[in-house]
Structure 1
Amino acid sequence: MPVAIDSEDAFLSSPDPLLESNKPSLSALAEQRLPIVIPWHPEQVIYPGQLFHSRLSRTQNPWSKISPFIDTEQEQETGRVPRRMVYLSADGGTSGSFKSTKSQSTTAKEDHESYGFTATVDLGFCSASGSLQYDRHLSTNNDDVMTSVRSSYRCGSVLLRQAPELTTEAQIELKYGDGLEGFEDRFGDYYLFGYNIGGDNTMMVSTNSQSMSLAERRTLSVKIESFFFDIEFTTHFDSAEASASASLRVTGYDSLLHTVIDQSQSWAASATADFDRMQRDTAKMRNLGSTLPTRVEKKAEEVGLLLSPTAVFGDRAVKINNSPYTPIAALERDVDESLCERLVKSGLVVEMVLIPVRSLRSVQYWITEDDII
């Protein structure tokens, strides 16, 4: 099965801290020649069949500029079997998930100090004594609350059902050149097998509040005793200090709108204009997550990929059988490059599936066969 990778390998300029960090890297998967699933964005349109250099995954453009496959015009001129892209929902439906987690920690600390000293002087006819007592009480409190919400929705895939044939130049490279290693070094070691269609919405809200109170008391006592009089007095010097602060950070993204939110705010009062704005943004992002399936299906309909049981193709309607015994062919719909472009630019392509080019039957054929080109 394809393995999802950490987005840091796919988007070097904007790593997403919300994704799990224990996912294997792209380079580690490529070394094992495993299928790879990478998150995608609507800013760059890549079509199924385009090749990818895994060794260039940390560069700005790892996609190959040359192709080992014949193009559409050559397919028509030579009568070759044309490439075929299809929308496929093998289970006849969709899948979605929603996950909400919350963690909270509270730390409270009480610190009390007390000390004093006394001095006495005896002059015979009188004696004097004095004492100083110091008390200090410090109380601190720290509360951290972290809440994360993740919504995910998938409604099928666009796949390369029929891969294009190799050009004569690519065949010669495999058979008479540097073989598979030379082929992969020149054209790429992975090819884009297809897209996963759907949407993702993730949001994390973290709050921190701190409070501190400090109370100090200094007590001075003086006592004088003599033959004629006695004097005694006590006085207190009190001081108090208190402070409180809080901070809020909201991070999240919505793949369908290609929206990223990363805001932080600190405040000392209970409410500020910035805090109110962040609350509104948080509520908006949460609402986007709760309506993700509806938004995905509506967007798919807008670009021309209908997901309802009755799909319209041109001027005819096709009834899709949702029976569990429906053959896969009945759940396929042909897709052209124009629709692929609209899907990517609309944000519906959330992931791209990369397959090792050495797994292609045509590549294996020209490595092992003795046919003369």
Structure 2
Amino acid sequence: MALVDVFPENPFTPSLPYASAAQLPVTVPWGGKALQMGTPLIVGSQPQDTQFLEDRCAFSSDSLKKTSLTFRHVSRGMITESNTHTAAARHEHTSFSIQAQIGGSVIGVSGRGNYEARGATNQDDTAEDELTPQSHGQIVNASFRTEYQSGWIGFVSPPRLSPLALELLHTHDDPHTAFRERFGDYYVGAYLLGGANAQLVSSNDIAASASKDLSGKGEVRFLGFKKEKKFDSHEKADAAFGQIRLTGYDSLEAWECDHQENEDVRLIHQVADENEKRCRSLIGRVNGKVEMFQLKDGGVVSVELCEGICRAHLVVQILLLPYKKLREYAVAVLANASGTDAVDSGSHMASTPAGKA
């Protein structure tokens, strides 16, 4: 794939085909499915063509067993709040993760995928003939997004390529294409541990009271919904709110919501309050699971423990590394080009989350 062929329509929106063509390490959100380190991913031109090749590992099975995995502790996070009054500003309510570009079913995390897709395309779902004469024809959006990473699990050093992988690189007339068709573009190089939580409320901007309650005038956290706030009959009416929709997810609990109301906003209010509690407790819940698995900085992590960590939804993202950045890969291709049988006796290039794009 040439860069010009896969350049994204919106350069501010990440594209996995473009990242693959540029040989960039990438991170994508993950769900509760167990995924073995070293698993290959092939990137298709269409989302449905992108898939993990779990039965075609490019690494030697013996090397995979002998290569140690380690946990490294970090502590970093991000909280973002946005309040807008037009669908044109919808990009402020998403992180535009690459996950949204390849489909939630591919990487096993539907909650975040649904939220990203909704946030990226959010617009007035009410037909013009359904709007009241008082309608302003705008959308009021209020959102918060919270992400926290507590550490990562990765290879101490990359495992060795399998004899079949090396044979393709040493002998094939087009080694890059032959390798890609068999083993894909990327391999799973690390699990990033943590959690993510987000919530987006959208409504027709029909009355000043509705706008105020949704946006919070930019000074109240979590959408401006106050627990002591009592909605009166006027605020519940269609003429006050029009359509109201809540979309949200919590990666650590595998919770997601996409609910729409036309009349009574009490349910939306209740769900928003409950997810606010999840958001406030995200760091504590993540650290609690890290302690449950007894992960220590610099400690060795077994393959069996990694499976349990994945199923506990503690892997918030996975790091995908391109094969072409492996030293062993590069040396084999050079040997093929020069017509020699040179074999690299050294190690691979360093591949850790610290070096990702």
Q: Give the structure with the larger strand fraction.
A: 1
User: In the alignment, what sits opposite 2:41?
Assistant: 52
TM-superposed CA distance for 1:32, in Å, is: 1.1
Q: Give yes or no for the alignment of 1:161 onto 2:151.
A: no
Change in 2 beyond 3 A, CA 1:295/1:57: farther
Of 22, 26, 49, which residue of structure 2 is paired with 1:32? 22
The DSSP-based 3-state class of the residue aligned with 1:41 is coil
d(CA) in 1 for partners of 2:171 and 2:25? 28
Change in 2 beyond 3 A, CA 1:84/1:104: same
Specify the code of the residue in structure 1 equivalent to 2:188. Answer: L
Listed as ranges, the matches of 1:205-244 within 5 Å are 205-208=201-204, 210=206, 244=239
Contact 2:17/2:45 (8 A) holds in 1: no
Mark the runs of 5 or more structure 1 residues left unpaired by the alignment: 1-19, 77-81, 106-137, 212-242, 312-330
The DSSP-based 3-state class of the residue aligned with 2:19 is helix
d(CA) in 1 for partners of 2:34 and 2:133? 58
The DSSP-based 3-state class of the residue aligned with 2:179 is helix
User: In the alignment, what sits opposite 1:346?
Assistant: 312
d(CA) in 1 for partners of 2:50 and 2:17? 15
User: In the alignment, what sits opposite 1:140?
Assistant: 134
Q: Give the structure with the larger helix fraction.
A: 2
User: In the alignment, what sits opposite 1:170?
Assistant: 165
Q: Give yes or no for the alignment of 1:67 onto 2:57.
A: yes
| 1:81-102 C-alpha deviation (Å, 9 max, x unpaired) | x21211113xxx4012212222
The DSSP-based 3-state class of the residue aligned with 1:193 is strand
Specify the code of the residue in structure 2 equivalent to 1:83. Answer: T
TM-superposed CA distance for 1:293, in Å, is: 0.2
The DSSP-based 3-state class of the residue aligned with 2:164 is helix
Change in 2 beyond 3 A, CA 1:192/1:210: same
Specify the code of the residue in structure 2 equivalent to 1:97. Answer: M
d(CA) in 1 for partners of 2:50 and 2:84? 39
Q: Give yes or no for the alignment of 1:371 onto 2:352.
A: no
Of 175, 179, 186, which residue of structure 2 is paired with 1:183? 179
TM-superposed CA distance for 1:63, in Å, is: 1.5
d(CA) in 2 for partners of 1:75 and 1:37? 21
| 1:9-32 C-alpha deviation (Å, 9 max, x unpaired) | xxxxxxxxxxx9932210111111
> What is the Cα-based RMSD across aligned positions, in Å?
2.8
d(CA) in 2 for partners of 1:189 and 1:359? 11
d(CA) in 2 for partners of 1:341 and 1:348? 11
| 1:47-88 C-alpha deviation (Å, 9 max, x unpaired) | 21111111377237612221222213x778xxxxx2121111
| 1:238-278 C-alpha deviation (Å, 9 max, x unpaired) | xxxxx8252321111111111111111012xxxx4xx3222
Change in 2 beyond 3 A, CA 1:183/1:140: closer
d(CA) in 2 for partners of 1:336 and 1:75? 12
Listed as ranges, the matches of 1:1-373 within 5 Å are 22-42=12-32, 44-55=33-44, 58-59=47-48, 62-64=51-53, 65-72=55-62, 82-89=66-73, 93-104=74-85, 140=134, 142=136, 144-178=139-173, 179-208=175-204, 210=206, 244-246=239-241, 247-267=243-263, 272=264, 275-302=265-292, 304-306=293-295, 311=296, 331-369=297-335, 370-371=340-341
TM-superposed CA distance for 1:286, in Å, is: 1.2
Change in 2 beyond 3 A, CA 1:277/1:69: same
Count, aligned residues: 252
Larger Rg: 1
Q: Identity of paired residues, percent?
A: 24
Change in 2 beyond 3 A, CA 1:278/1:338: same
Contact 1:209/1:244 (8 A) holds in 2: no
Change in 2 beyond 3 A, CA 1:283/1:21: farther
Change in 2 beyond 3 A, CA 1:278/1:358: same
* Higher-RCO chain (CA-CA 8 Å, sequence separation at least 6): 2
TM-superposed CA distance for 1:340, in Å, is: 1.2
Q: What is the TM-score with the length of structure 2 in the denominator?
A: 0.64
Contact 2:43/2:49 (8 A) holds in 1: no
Specify the code of the residue in structure 2 equivalent to 1:69. Answer: F
TM-superposed CA distance for 1:146, in Å, is: 2.1
Where has structure 1 moved over 4 Å in runs of 4 or more?
Answer: none
The DSSP-based 3-state class of the residue aligned with 2:51 is coil
The DSSP-based 3-state class of the residue aligned with 2:169 is helix
Contact 1:159/1:194 (8 A) holds in 2: yes
Q: What is the TM-score with the length of structure 1 in the denominator?
A: 0.61
